[in-house]
Amino acid sequence: MFEKSWPLGMLAAGLAATATTTQAHEIVGNRFFPATLAIDDPGVNDELAFPTIAVSKTGDDPSFKQVDVSGEFSKRITEDFGISVGPTWSRLYAPGGPTMNGAQGFQNLETTFKYRLFKNAEHELIVSAGLSIEWGGSCAQDVGAERFTVYTPTLYFGKGLGDLPPSLNWARPFAITGQVGYAIPGVAQTTTASIDPDTGEQDIDMEFHPRVLNWGGTIQYSMPYLKSAVVDLGLPDFVNRLIPIVEAAMQTPVSNTATSGTVTTGTINPGIIYVGNTYQIAVEAMIPVNRQSGTSVGIIGQLHFFLDDIFPNSIGRPIFANNINTGRPTYGR
């Protein structure tokens, strides 16, 4: 039974690895959009997310514990265009893995190209488009890394509610972000031939690789925004740096679904983000939306560095930047 569900488990592991890939932060007018954990946010920036650690129990039958440790480096090429690269190391505990004794190794390397299409400070609105490529065969198949490449064009958006009327001041620190992507496998199906040890006959196993809609969103309440743009309540500095957040990350197979089925999987992640001047720390629970998405509540945490703030005159700025002449030398600051 487990062997039959293993390809589905590998798909789930791959999707989970994709879902935990991260992220950029962004400032739009009054609004600071933090880097989010379950979905990518619309920002394009120079940053390093390391480590991101996720612990969950998979939706396989039987279920097993999975630990993912990932990182991501994002670099702006121009002010609006950036590239990010992110490896993920996974450990599957027994009865996971092809031999049911567990497995460990790197997931396929993922590269994302993202372009900021639109940014409006007054309305705290940002829209970006990107293409993520999961390079097939670049890592360990035992942990679900596929042999084929997957291309995912994605649209991202973020909207702060700071332009609400003064009568709704309490709601102005709210913001929403979202993404919609369409994952297209490089090959439509994989055929595996094997010899049945009992009968000696040849078995042909055909697996169809579905095209998957990756969609999700966040709703967040920014205490930094409350303090600096709505009302300074004189709260402790620690509280003024928190952003409570709920994320949702879903995957829906939409075509070529003969062997995968069309069940939507994903998690709802309530959590909190602490924002420092040059870094943020986030922790979220991962609540599976159904049995196929997991068998218990998982947890994910991340340490994230704003390289544009830490190294503003070197690796933290776009390779092709529009320089601002301040009339002062750039050394010795």
Partner 1 sequence: MKKITYALTITLFICTAPTLVLAHAMLDHASPRVGSTVNSAPKEIVLWFTQKLEPAFSTIEVRNEQGAAVQAGKATVIGDRTQLRVALEALPPGIYKVIWQVLSVDTHRTRGDFTFRVGP
Q: Using CB under 8 A as the criterion, which residues of the chain lie in contact with partner 1 when the complex forms?
A: 27, 29-30, 32, 121, 166, 169, 224, 227-232, 234, 276-279, 303, 305-306, 308-313, 323-324, 326-328, 333
Chain-centre distance for alpha carbon 331 = 37
Q: How far is the CB of 301 from partner 1 (least distance, A)?
A: 13
Residue 119: count other Cβ atoms within 10 Å of its Cβ: 20
CB of 236 to partner 1, least distance (A): 13
Tokens 């954990």 -> residue: 37
Q: Which of 50, 51, 45, 52 has its CA nearest to residue 74? A: 45
Give me 143's structure tokens. Answer: 């942990």
Q: Which tokens is 212 given? A: 């998957």
> Is the separation of the CB atoms in 159 and 125 below 8 Å?
yes
Report the residue number, 192 or 278, with the smaller CB distance to partner 1: 278
Shortest distance, CB of residue 24 to partner 1, whole angstroms?
14
* Cβ nearer to partner 1, comparing 194 with 277: 277
Smallest gap from residue 33 Cβ to partner 1 (A): 13
Instruction: Judge whether 26 and 33 are in contact, CB under 8 Å.
Output: yes
Output the six-digit token pair for 15: 């999707």
> What's the number of CA atoms in the CB half-sphere (13 Å) around residue 232?
3
Provide, rounded to whole angstroms, the least separation between the CB of residue 162 and partner 1. Answer: 9
The alpha carbon of 188 is separated from its chain's Cα centroid by a whole number of angstroms, namely 24
Q: Which is nearer to partner 1, 168 or 231 (CB)?
A: 231
Choice between 80 and 309, CB closer to partner 1: 309
Q: Which helix (H) or strand (E) holds 187?
A: none
Task: Write the single-letter amino acid at 252.
Answer: T
> In the bound complex, what is the minimum distance in angstroms from residue 255's beta carbon to partner 1?
43
What's the min distance (Å) between Cβ of 153 and partner 1? 30
Nearer to partner 1, 148 or 279 (CB): 279
Closest by alpha carbon to 45, among 20, 77, 18? 77
The residue (of 157 and 225) whose beta carbon lies closer to partner 1 is 225
Q: Minimal distance in Å, beta carbon 233 to partner 1?
A: 8
Cα dihedral sign, 219-72-303-322:
negative
Pairing of strands 125-134, 110-120: antiparallel
CB of 303 to partner 1, least distance (A): 7
Tokens 């989970």 correspond to 16
- Asked if residue 53 lies in contact with residue 301, where contact means CB atoms within 8 angstroms, the answer is yes
Please give the helix or strand (H or E) that residue 168 lies within, else none. none
> Which is nearer to partner 1, 200 or 234 (by Cβ)?
234
Q: What is the DSSP letter of 138?
A: S
- Reading the block at residue 183, the tokens are 């994952």
Q: Which is nearer to partner 1, 61 or 309 (CB)?
A: 309
Our CB check for partner 1 shows the closer of 199 and 322 to be 322
